[in-house]
Structure 1
Amino acid sequence: MSDTGYFIGVISGTSVDAIDCALIECGPERTRLLATLSGEFPVDLRDDILSLCRTATVSLHALGTLDVRVGHAFADSINELIAHAGLTASQIQAIGSHGQTIFHQPIGNHRFSTQIGDPNTIAELTGITTIHDFRRRDMAAGGQGAPLAPLFHQHSFYHQGVRRCVVNIGGMANITYLNPSPTATPRGHDTGPGNVLMDIWIQKARNQRYDNAGQWAASGKVDTALLQLLLDEDYFRLAPPKSTGRELFNHSWLQDRLAQLSHTPDAADVQRTLAELTALSIIEAIDSSQQTDELIVCGGGAHNTFLLQRLQQLLPAGRVLTSDDCGLSADWVEAVTFGWLAHQTLNRQQVDSRDLTGARHPVIMGGVYYT
């Protein structure tokens, strides 16, 4: 296998808002983003995915069918990207498909993480070797299977002499403390909810999928009683390594805390308070013993202007940037990550996630579905 070549990374995050596909040229020292495509889920497919994430039990027929349907949707988006880039399938060395997470169980004797989007279907419909199921080998080695993005953050955002943290704000948020040594493993963990609770609330209260630039949150004020209830969650007090998902931070979790209030808060105040929860949980995760010169934000949360303002206000000694300021669009960091991980896997490169996930030793991540 060549050290340099074209790879495609594809992911749908916990918000289930799009199928993000990134075409990259990946080499031993440099990764270049060449083309992107944001594929839309059919409305009925998105609704079925979200319903599955909310349901404690599901039929094997429904799970298996949805797995293949998501695989078809991923393959359609990948083929569209390849055509848009003017390439052919034979020019792509591999696809790194994260899939769509529907359940993540990072602790216990039998930890697991389930991502649907059948890689057999993707390989068959694209004609390209597909690498999938990146998280579970890490979990088999004693890790939590997440976060994995910090591995690419270290590769892409390290800057000599600048003390940087990277925070990815998707449905959940995760933070990376870049290592001062450029080739060393960074530290990082999930901080808690990113956009997920804000998206849930605005969908319920205003029938909108997201809070554009955080404008609705900015119109409200923090409800201190609600904020205290939200912060009184054991997850925030756990020591790393730790990871989380919709299994914890979901509609029911929010409703339980709203029900404990002795008053009915204004809807905009709830949104403002949820934004504050995201900002505080990120900033409080930053190691106070280390000076942070720059906090680099990527993911959908990078478009939430109000949230960025709050992060800057809470981190007065550092500078809050987006990954766009560092040469890589905030919208595509995660998709690029899984293209980059596919390159690592196909070249049989072990990934050292011990300081991220708690794995006992480095492993080669992902199952390979050859064509």
Structure 2
Amino acid sequence: MPAPLLYAGLMSGTSMDGVDGVLASFDPATQRPLHVLAHAHRGFADKLAAELLALNTAGPDELHRAALAGNRLMQVYAEVVAELLARATCVPMQVSAVGAHGQTVRHRPQAFGGPGYTLQLANGALLAELCGITTVCDFRSADLAAGGQGAPLVPAFHAGSFAASGEDVAVLNVGGIANLTLLPADDRAPVRGFDTGPGNVLLDLWCREKLGCTFDAGGALAARGTVQPALLRGLLDEPFFALPPPKSTGRDLFHAEWLAGRLAKATELAPTDVLATLAELTVHSVVDALTTQMPSVRRLLVCGGGAFNTHLMRRWQALLPAVAVQTTAAAGIAPDQVEALAFAWLAACRMNGRPASLPAVTGARGPRVLGAVYAAPAG
């Protein structure tokens, strides 16, 4: 039997709080993960985080700034890879490839009279040079070129990791943006997936602007506030929520100006009440999408940073009493490792020439092999 292959995966999401990385062994025949050997997280320095956030909107000298930020990001990625190797007592030549998502700063698929575009800051050649390992990045472009959204990317990985025969299962990833994967009980039925709207992005924004913290740890501040029904109705009136899948979104839509416009008539509200209402927006947008698209679901597995928000988890359970709301740890993968592991899997698929996109998820004309490969330096 061939020995397992090692792949690393790196993920920095729309929460922009840093990089998660995993090193895992994969079955060489099926490209399925067998075991996570190491996990590492590295937060962004304040200056880099601020620049990545600023690059989500138009500004002076964007191309120059984006190129430099992408290079700095690759240095952080390389530091995470080095930590993974040290923890697993491995050397670069033992790793088949690194899958690196890059940092999304714009996402405008199916726009401007054509395929639109999606932009993840990354420099695959630099990361391969820094790590000494073949690097795969730019995972979204092939799907966009085929008419798809290019997102979400992870439902195919979720299907291989969390599907249960005879049981409808939903997987909810809550980063800056939240996305659902719907895994039908009948394995002949298509896997579906789509973004539901804001996850932590507006919560973190409000915490930074009004509450003197970078995020609401465990949802404790939101739990103290009182949900404002009129404000919640106004937030949920956003047309994106009513769009049918396939659909994806990001900071291009859910940003400070979007929130300010909906708060214009709510100037007298206490900051914790606004936070409680923003949390309820995340909760309701997920519940509405889930009950509309898969009303028969009885198990919801949550991953990403939102899985550690006790308040959100309690609210989902309260509004979905017939559904077992759990983190993905209940299915064998720690919630803060799922996305990084997915990018290790995407790298494994690319190195083996296997399509990894799902047209039923993205709306593309067909499945595509995803990712651009940058070979490890020869010497």
TM-score (norm 1): 0.96
Per the alignment, residue 349 of structure 1 pairs with 354
Q: Determine the C-alpha separation between the residues in 1 that align with 2:115 and 2:184.
A: 31
Q: CA deviation at 1:4?
A: 3.9
Per the alignment, residue 335 of structure 1 pairs with 340
Aligned residue-pair number: 369
Q: CA deviation at 1:151?
A: 1.2
Q: CA deviation at 1:53?
A: 1.6
CA contact (8 A) 2:136 2:372 kept: yes
CA contact (8 A) 1:226 1:273 kept: yes
Per the alignment, residue 225 of structure 1 pairs with 230
Per the alignment, residue 123 of structure 1 pairs with 128
Matched, 1:145 2:171: no
Per the alignment, residue 271 of structure 1 pairs with 275
Matched, 1:363 2:358: no
Cα–Cα, structure 1 residues 344 and 243, in superposed 2: closer, same or farther, change >3 Å? Answer: same
Q: CA deviation at 1:133?
A: 0.3
Q: Which of 85, 98, 115 is 2:88 aligned to?
A: 85
CA contact (8 A) 1:171 1:194 kept: yes
Q: Determine the C-alpha separation between the residues in 1 that align with 2:67 and 2:91.
A: 30
Q: Which of 35, 40, 44 is 1:41 aligned to?
A: 44
CA RMSD across the alignment: 1.6
Q: CA deviation at 1:168?
A: 0.4
Q: CA deviation at 1:54?
A: 3.5
Cα–Cα, structure 1 residues 3 and 314, in superposed 2: closer, same or farther, change >3 Å? Answer: farther
Q: Determine the C-alpha separation between the residues in 1 that align with 2:362 and 2:197.
A: 15
Q: Determine the C-alpha separation between the residues in 1 that align with 2:11 and 2:22.
A: 9
Ranges in structure 1 where 5+ consecutive residues have no aligned partner: none
Cα–Cα, structure 1 residues 347 and 35, in superposed 2: closer, same or farther, change >3 Å? Answer: same
Q: Deviations over 1:242-295 (max 9, x none)?
A: 00000110111111111133x521111000000100000001001446311101
How does 1:52-91 map onto structure 2 within 5 Å?
52-55=55-58, 58-91=61-94
CA contact (8 A) 2:155 2:181 kept: yes
Secondary structure of 2:152's match?
A: coil
How does 1:1-371 map onto structure 2 within 5 Å?
4-27=4-27, 28=30, 30-31=32-33, 32-55=35-58, 58-108=61-111, 109-182=114-187, 185-261=190-266, 263-288=267-292, 290-371=295-376
CA contact (8 A) 1:3 1:347 kept: no
CA contact (8 A) 2:170 2:299 kept: yes
TM-score (norm 2): 0.94
Secondary structure of 2:339's match?
A: helix
Q: CA deviation at 1:85?
A: 1.4
CA contact (8 A) 2:7 2:95 kept: yes
Q: Determine the C-alpha separation between the residues in 2 that align with 1:60 and 1:176.
A: 34
Q: Determine the C-alpha separation between the residues in 2 that align with 1:245 and 1:368.
A: 26
Q: Determine the C-alpha separation between the residues in 1 that align with 2:225 and 2:315.
A: 14
Q: CA deviation at 1:193?
A: 0.2
CA contact (8 A) 1:155 1:183 kept: no
Ranges in structure 2 where 5+ consecutive residues have no aligned partner: none
Q: CA deviation at 1:352?
A: 4.0
